[in-house]
Structure 1
């Protein structure tokens, strides 16, 4: 076998190896990009781009809350758009076959927060099921201002005694809630919260998290204070008469 034939065989083998090793995974598709959500005159406008099928724009409908009047942009790619309302972690699907240029959604007076997510869906002829991209998320849209952050007293990073009281206050008419967590943990809206009804004491060191909530309004941002708790000393005083007989007892905290 001469050198020219060897070169041809080697080149063909290299092309075959490269094509099969570095080929694009057919089960992967790009996620939508440049996802924008804009509130204007009670309507929310969505738009995004996608590398394989161009961009789309969606404006959501006031009455149906589902996709309508769709015009196909591509027979291969469509889009699924989901919505989460009022800062809840649950999404509901608005449409799974969107290929339109425009669509609109009127905000509901009973809702105060909206967040959308979109993903691409690729349909291939003969495939048993479609291929989904990962989700792209919009910014959170608020139609009402957030409640004010509550205050926590004493001040943050305070060394307190176990009989000192912790107070949570707000300058608005709201419901107050709090969490007690370790000082190195982070406060989260997803954790369990306790309703605040009166000042309380701490038996050990905690980070105190507090928030304000009110029906129909976006919850406040979370306030945090770290408290280092030391044990106080309770001293008993016995009072006596002139003859040394005990007549009264008093306590004092130190």
Structure 2
């Protein structure tokens, strides 16, 4: 079994640390800062960093890559269509890779950036999804490069994964995302319950991720653009009739940008 822990970085980033306890080998996802990873390796000197997985090119996800590769010799995997420092393996949609014995499938998920990818391990009991800044707990990434159509398609693709999939996103944005979700669906009992729970967790300085896809489908407005009440709220917000879920999504994303 692979253990996954969060290494906090900057103000709200998470670097995901995957650990093979038998082999004493580890991998990291999106190390925007090398320092937290180096500190962990110094506390665990019998461990070896073997792999670095990158979802997209933003500096808060790639800033520590070159230093970590120089220090450890780890192999760097990243999206083929983006400029990733020290990348060894360029990955495209549906490629497969094996890290710490886990076989992962690459999903192209453009929207936040044009070349953004996610890593999915389809374990029968506990699937894992490392989705960077595409799907957040109760939210999604801003559209810095892509279109609403691209992002809605990317999210819809991820939403088709199994209910039990653990969603490892890269930021602690859950509470602010849930405040928005409450504004979109004030009568959604699942949203209200999750908002109350995460409010308590954050007051205790507990992290709110990973979540599950089952929970995201019930509480994440960006996965619920086809729900009638969400569409009605989007129509109300935009003052227009939004015919398709993509149009609803576009209204929600623009609203969230200013929320």
User: Is the TM-score greater than 0.5?
Assistant: no
TM-score bracket, shorter-length normalisation: under 0.3
TM-score by length of 1: 0.27
Of structures 1 and 2, the larger Rg is shown by 1
Question: Per chain length, whose mean CA-contact separation is higher, i.e. which structure has more relative contact order (CA < 8 Å, sep 6+)?
Answer: 1
Bigger share in helix: 2
